[in-house]
Structure 1
Amino acid sequence: MDYTKAPIDDVVKRINELYKKDKEEGLNAEEKEEQQKLRRRYIDNVKANFRVQLEGVELKKKQ
Structure 2
Amino acid sequence: MLDILKRINELSYKRKNAGLTEIEVGEMNRLRNTYLQIFRGSMEELLLNTTVVDPKGADVTPKKLRKEQARNRKKAIWS
Q: Which band: TM-score by shorter chain?
A: 0.7 to 0.9
**Identical columns (%):** 31
Partner of residue 48 from structure 1, selected from 26, 35, 41: 41
Runs of 4 or more, structure 1, over 3 Å off, are none
User: Higher Cα Rg: structure 1 or 2?
Assistant: 2
Which runs of 5 or more residues in structure 1 are unaligned? Answer: 1-7
- Tell me the distance in 2 between the aligned counterparts of 1:40 and 1:17: 16
Matches within 5 A, 1:1-63: 8-59=1-52, 60-61=59-60
Structure 2, gaps ≥5 residues long: 53-58, 61-79
> Alignment RMSD, CA only?
0.9
Q: Residues 17-61 of structure 1, C-alpha deviation per residue, up to 9 Å, x if partnerless?
A: 000000111000000000000000111111001000011012414
Higher relative contact order (CA 8 A, sep 6+): 1
Cα separation, 2, equivalents of 1:10 and 1:46: 14
